Amino acid sequence: MTAAVELEPNPLFEGLRSARVPAPCCVVIFGASGDLTRRKLVPALYALAAEGTLPAGFTVIGAGRTHMSDEEFRNTMRNDVQRFGRLPVDDDIWSAFAQGLRYVTYDLDARDGLDPVRRALDEADRTRGTARNRVIYFSVPSTAVLLLAERLHAAGLHEDSRSSFCRVVIEKPFGRDLETARELNRSLHQFFREDQIYRIDHYLGKESVQNLLVFRFANGIFEPLWNRQYIDHVQITVAESMGIEARGAYYEQAGALRDIVQNHIMQLMAIVGMEPMPNFQAETVRDEKVKLLRAVRPIHPDDALSHTVRGQYAGGWVDGERVPGYREEKDVAPGSLRETYVAMKVDIDNWRWAGTPFYLRTGKRLVKRATEILIQFRRVPHSPFGGSIAMPMGGLPPDAIDPNLLVLRIQPEEGITLRFSAKVPGQAMRIRSVNMDFLYGSAFLKQSPEAYERLLLDCMLGDATLFAREDEVEEAWRLCTAILDGWRAHPPDQAHCPNYEAGTWGPPEADAFMARDGRTWHRP
Amino acid sequence: MPMTASGSAVQRHAHASGLHALSSALANLHRDALRASGDEEAQVRLSVVNIVAACNDATLATRAADTVVGIAARHPARALVIVGDPTAPLHIESDISLVETGVGRQYVELIRLEIGGEPAYHLSSIVMPLLIPDIPLHLWLVGAPPLTQAFRADAVAMCDRVILDTGAYDDAAETLQMIAREFDVHGASLSLNDIAWQRTRPWREAVAIAFDGPDVRPWLHRVVGVEIGRRMAARRMAGVTSDVARERRPGHRREQHPGRRRERR
């Protein structure tokens, strides 16, 4: 395999508003008839086309196991873009975009099963000028990833050169535990170099997550406060009001820890906690994230129960609708003990964070959909307003002053909130907390791009900053695998499972878990 | 989105069916307000409280909405004014308004919700997702609704304060007794404001002033009798005033009542 060579920046783009247009290329989507392609990938590619960020001759080859003509594929995709896309379909733009849409069938069981894909790629190179530049998207079940990688390699579709690129995009799960993740990485490296592998975590493509990097490293006022001296603790919440939808079979194998904590939450924690990087190059950003993950204090399996809380939802009411319990969902065993909620405490053993814990939680069928990072600052050491009437939250003494909070909201209402104390207008000295919300979503009149738009474009451009590297994945698994081992040794008691009602903020044990440390969960 | 001016307050309105449409309608109203202002940097929302006003009928809802807008400059809030009717056909309809508070370019977010059918028994599943995070939630029981739902453990846990008007109930004395029992059950986790008590404020101030001077203060502890009229407000005031006076008497040891101490009068 030849190492890819970075081309010099195209001088003709100098002074142009958007220099982020990739070289002519072809995106091959394996699993083109699946949900991800229909709901996310093709709508994202269309949005990029509509915004003028795709190169001339850009081509999409949908590869699936079901038979479909090019025309049928185009019609289906048009309907899906109309239904799921961020932008309405414009006839002229669609017409140009659809010229580059092809569909082929493939068969992984046959040694020559990728020949139709190779022929379609050759044709695109010849007729649309895609110059052997390829992004290959693995939208296939995790069980098929290695076989597909092997077949691509055998068919020579893994090759790049000094003047062309070949990158593969792989969706989570990246293994089921540390050992399988290492094995997956080892196996993938037989067929692709690490710099060709783009492990996608769509959370990292969200505007608000990128804004978090800007917030931390482009604002000098926060950095001096961003440490154990001023921050009491950090809470990261990924709450979902949805259940498991039609993913019962997957979820029975995965659970909340593997599905959300190992990837999305660990990535958010790394970004919040990492040291400032010298530049915004992919390797330097990822180096800093890995350093943070390595500083996480290991949890011994025997301590897993005291550092975590597991939960499973029963039926209840969410958004004014009655919803079933987890065990009543399709493809879920009636006596399943699989966790749909996790709360945990993470200690980070480094100079910046020692003694400032990170509390992480995620759950299905909670009160609302909300992802946020909450930074709780330490209280003022002494209140000079003793005897004044304050209005603290959370059952504090009436003259207590609420600590300052900084909340970075990822979804659904992207923004930043700063909570501070202020005097209530009037003669008396009354203090109350005021929330100052910066509504990121509505502050900029331009609509934010979808996460997949950003990530697909980055991949075409060869920018891996927002993709997970093999060592990031393995470090995240190191912590999660110890917890899984501990849980396996101590399965939940059937009598206490399920242990939270749908439409609540999780099991009461999670509140007790925080109360043990003299803290409370905040309400997202 | 329609925009109207009521008095000096600029209002923006939208209607939505269902909860998901409500959230997008509210975001669109903010975007419209921003577009109209022509100032992208101005989009900061200040808020100190979530107010949930539970009403029995549309007339009370209108009165509650007017009150929320009236206090908005002092208490910038997101207010949910809810009329729930479990006997009505299933529906969740909302009217959303952004009303300028008159302070800078701040708005009160007023959401009037009509809920019919079984969801009306499960209001917390509708209300909770709509709250502004990390600021207190005040539940205002408008009129004289049955209090059983408001004092359920989950409702008490959810609310930072319950606001009611014992004066609106036919039998205020019985209502007060019921509230006292609830304090016994919930203790310090229940925080309560009684509008009827606030209504006696001018009278309390007048009585306090009457005993304020150095010449008259000694007489405070020599009051041997009070004639109380038939009105409940007079009885309420006399009761609490004598309680306070007794508590302040030198050498008096008050019987502690953990729950009652939390009542903000």
Task: Provide, rounded to the nearest whole percent, the portion of chain B with pLDDT above 70.
Answer: 80
User: Which pLDDT does position A442 carry in this prediction?
Assistant: 58
pLDDT at A2: 45
**% of chain A exceeding 90 in pLDDT:** 74
DSSP string, B76-107: -EEEEEEEEETTSPSEEEEEEEEEE-SSTT-E
Interface test with B, best of A86, A240, A241, A368 (most B CBs within 10 A): A368
CA neighbor of B73 nearest in space, from B116, B104, B33, B41: B104
Question: Average pLDDT of A75-79?
Answer: 96
Minimum CA–CA partner of A371 in chain B: B133
Tens of pLDDT along B216-248?
888 877 777 777 776 777 777 776 666 665 555
Set of chain B residues whose Cβ sits within 8 Å of the Cβ of A370: 133
Please state, in angstroms and rounded to a whole number, the distance separating the CA atoms of residues A490 and B115.
44
- Residue A79 C-alpha, separation from nearest chain B C-alpha, in angstroms: 22
Model confidence at A21: pLDDT above 90:
no
Asked if pLDDT for residue A28 goes beyond 90, the answer is: yes
How many Cβ contacts (< 8 angstroms) between chains A and B? 104
Taking 50 as the threshold, does the pLDDT of residue A4 lie above it?
no
What is the model's pLDDT at position A272?
A: 97
User: What pLDDT, on the 0 to 100 scale, is given for residue B261?
Assistant: 36
pLDDT score at A464: 95
Residues from chain B that touch A369, judged by Cβ atoms under 8 A, are 129
C-beta of residue A361 within 8 angstroms of C-beta of residue A234: no
Which pLDDT score, from 0 to 100, does residue B20 have?
83
The rounded distance, in Å, linking the Cα atoms of A262 and A259 is 7
Q: What is the DSSP letter of B259?
A: T
Which A residues in the span 85-144 are in contact with B, Cβ-Cβ below 8 Å?
none
Question: Which tokens go with A160?
Answer: 């790049």
Q: How many CA atoms lie within 13 A of A253 on its CB side?
A: 9
Yes or no, beta carbons of A445 and B125 under 8 Å apart: no
Residue B259 in this model has a pLDDT that exceeds 70:
no
Residue B229 phi, psi dihedral angles, 5° rounding = -70, -175
Q: Which of B64, B91, B60, B92 is nearest to B80 (CA)?
A: B64
Pairwise CA distance, residues A167 & A460, whole Å:
8
Q: How far apart are CA A44 and CA A185, in angstroms?
A: 28
Q: Which of B50-64, B164-178, B233-247 has the lowest mean pLDDT?
A: B233-247
Q: Look at B119 and A320 and tell me if their CB atoms are within 8 Å.
A: yes
Dist. CA A247–CA A96, nearest whole Å: 36
> What per-residue confidence (pLDDT) applies to B245?
58
Residue B229 CA to residue A333 CA, distance in Å, equals 68
Rounded mean pLDDT, B86-109: 84
Distance CA A492, CA A494 (A): 6
The candidate with the shortest Cα–Cα distance to A39, out of A503, A450, A385, is A450
Calculate the CA A189 to chain-centre distance.
23
Least confident of A26-35, A322-331, B22-31: B22-31
Phi, psi of A87 (to 5 degrees): -115, 145
Q: A368 contacts in B (CB within 8 Å)?
A: 128-129
Residue A126: pLDDT band by 50, 70, 90 thresholds?
very high
Of the candidates A417, A435, A441, the beta carbon closest to that of B27 is on A441
* pLDDT one-digit tens code per residue, A192-206: 999 999 999 998 998
Helices (H), A363-446: 440-443
Q: Say if residue A186's pLDDT is above 70.
A: yes
**C-alpha B62: how far from its chain's center?**
14
* More confident position, B104 or A178: A178
Chain A residues inside the 8 Å CB shell of B127: none
What is residue B5's predicted lDDT score, i.e. its pLDDT? Answer: 44
- Give the catalytic positions of A in this structure: 264
Instruction: List the single residue in A317, A417, A432 with the smallest CB-CB distance to B134.
Output: A417
| Beta-strand relationship, B192-194 and B49-55 | unpaired
Between these two residues, B41 and B261, which has the higher pLDDT value?
A: B41
Residues of B in contact with A441 (CB under 8 A): 27
A372–B23 C-beta distance less than 8 A: no
Compute the distance between CA of residue A411 and CA of residue A367 in angstroms, rounded to an integer.
14
Distance CA A308, CA A483 (A): 8
Min mean pLDDT across A204-218, A432-446, A459-473, B248-262 is at: B248-262
In chain B, residues with a C-beta closer than 8 Å to the C-beta of A424 are 74
Rounded CA separation B160/A36 (Å): 42
- Residue-level pLDDT at B209: 85
Average pLDDT over residues A349-358: 97
When the pLDDT of each residue in chain B is averaged and rounded to a whole number, the result is 79
CA-wise closest residue to A164 among A272, A282, A4: A4
Task: Answer whether residue A427 shows pLDDT above 80.
Answer: no
The Cα A198–Cα A225 span in angstroms is 34
Nearest residue on chain B to A393, judged by CA atoms?
B136
List CB contacts of B182: < 8 A, sequence separation 6 or more. Answer: B147, B151, B190, B259
* CB spacing of B115 vs A320 below 8 angstroms: yes
Tokens of B85: 């009717």
Alpha-carbon dihedral angle through residues A198, A147, A182, A281, given to the nearest 10 degrees? -10
Q: Which residue of B has its CA nearest to A521?
A: B134
H-helix or E-strand spanning residue A451: helix A451-461
A423 touches B at CB < 8 Å = no
Confidence bin at A512 (pLDDT 50/70/90): very high
| pLDDT value of position B154 | 72
Residue A3: pLDDT band by 50, 70, 90 thresholds? very low
Window from A168-172, B1-5, B187-191 with minimum mean pLDDT: B1-5
CA of A322 to nearest chain B CA: how many angstroms apart?
8
Residues in chain A within 8 Å Cβ distance of B133: 370, 372, 407, 409, 417, 522-524
Residue B262 has pLDDT above 90, yes or no: no
Q: Using one digit for the tens of pLDDT, what is the confidence trace for A267-285?
A: 999 999 999 999 989 999 9
Q: Are B70 and B95 in contact (CB under 8 A)?
A: no
Q: Which of B26, B43, B121, B156 would you mutate first to test chain A, the one with the most A CBs within 10 A?
A: B43
Q: Residue B132 and residue A425: Cβ atoms within 8 Å?
A: no
Specify the amino acid at residue B177. Answer: Q
Q: Do B34 and A443 touch (CB under 8 A)?
A: yes
For residues A512 and A169, give the distance between their C-alpha atoms in angstroms, rounded to a whole number.
41
Q: What confidence tier does A375 reach under pLDDT thresholds 50, 70, 90?
A: very high
Q: Which of B34, B44, B78 to mutate to test the interface with A (most CBs of A within 10 A)?
A: B44
- A20 φ, ψ (degrees, to nearest 5): -90, 60
Reply yes or no on whether the pLDDT at B263 is more than 80.
Answer: no
Chain A residues closer than 8 Å to B126 by CB = 319-320
Nearest by CB to A367, from B41, B129, B136: name it.
B129
Q: Are A389 and A423 in contact (CB under 8 A)?
A: no
Check CB contact under 8 Å for A435 and B35.
Answer: no
Q: Residues of B near A (CB-CB distance < 8 A)?
A: 19-20, 23, 27, 30-31, 34-35, 40-41, 43-48, 74, 92, 115, 118-119, 122, 124-126, 128-129, 131-136, 154, 160, 188-189
SS3 A435: strand
Which of A367, A438, A522 minimises the CB distance to B128?
A: A367
Distance CA B1, CA A273 (A): 42
SS (H, E, C) B20-67: HHHHHHHHHHHHHHHHHHCCHHHCEEEECEEEEEEECCHHHHHHHHHH
Q: Report, as an integer, the average pLDDT of A369-388.
A: 86
Cα–Cα distance list, B21 to A348, B28, B94, B104 (Å): 41, 10, 9, 28
pLDDT at position A5 is 47
Of the residues B128, B152, B261, the best mutation for testing chain A's interface (the one with the most A CB atoms within 10 Å of its CB) is B128
Rounded distance between C-alpha atoms, residue B49 and residue B136, angstroms: 5
Confidence of residue A16 (pLDDT cuts 50, 70, 90): low
- Could you give the CA distance from residue A117 to residue B131 in angstroms, rounded to a whole number? 51
A13 — pLDDT class (breaks 50, 70, 90): low
CB spacing of B48 vs A395 below 8 angstroms: no
Over residues B69-93, mean pLDDT: 88
Q: Which of A34-43, A150-159, A220-229, A377-386 has the lowest mean pLDDT?
A: A377-386
CA dihedral B233, B239, B241, B245 (to 10 degrees): 170
Q: How confident is the model at residue B100 (pLDDT cuts 50, 70, 90)?
A: confident
**pLDDT above 90 (res B254):** no
> In which band, very low, low, confident or very high, does the pLDDT at B255 lie, cut at 50, 70 and 90?
very low
Q: How many CB atoms lie within 10 A of CB B244?
A: 13
Instruction: Give the residue with greater pLDDT, A424 vs A34.
Output: A34
Confidence of residue B260 (pLDDT cuts 50, 70, 90): very low
The pLDDT of residue B87 is above 80: yes
Asked whether the beta carbons of B166 and B196 are under 8 A apart, the reply is yes
Q: Do residue B19 and residue A435 have CB atoms under 8 angstroms apart?
A: no
Task: Give chain B positions within 8 Å (CB) of A395.
Answer: 188-189
CB contact under 8 A, A434 and B134: no
Which of A241, A445, A523 lies closest to B40 in CB terms? Answer: A445
- A321 CB contacts (<8 Å, ≥6 apart)? B119, B125
Q: Decide if B134 and A321 are in contact by the 8 Å CB cutoff.
A: no
Give me the mean pLDDT over the A73-97 stretch: 94
B74/A425 Cβ within 8 A: yes
By C-alpha distance, the chain A residue nearest B92 is A320
Q: What is the pLDDT of residue A26?
A: 97
Return the pLDDT at A388: 60
Q: How close, in Å, is residue B214 to chain A by CA atoms?
A: 24
